[in-house]
Amino acid sequence: MNQEILTKIKQYYSIKGESQTFDHWIQPHITHLEPGTVEINWKPNDVSMNRYGAIHGGALAGLVDVVGAIATLSLGKRVVTTDMSISFLKMGTADTLITAKGFVFHRGRSLMRTTVEFFNQNNQCLVKAQLSFFVLGDLSLE
Domain layout of the chain by residue ranges: 3-137
What's phi and psi for 58, nearest 5 deg? -65, -40
Average pLDDT estimate for 14-20: 66
Please report, rounded to a whole number, the percentage of residues in the chain having pLDDT higher than 90.
75
- The mean predicted confidence, pLDDT, of the chain is 91
SS3 44: coil
At 11 the three-state DSSP class reads helix
Question: What pLDDT was estimated at residue 4?
Answer: 84
Report pLDDT digits (tens) over 66-106.
999 999 999 999 999 999 999 999 999 999 999 999 999 99
Residue 116 has pLDDT above 90, yes or no: yes
pTM to 2 decimal places: 0.90
Cα gap 100→27, rounded to integer Å:
13
Distance between CA 104 and CA 44 in Å, rounded?
25
CATH of domain 3-137: 3.10.129.10
Rounded CA-CA distance 52/118 in Å is 20
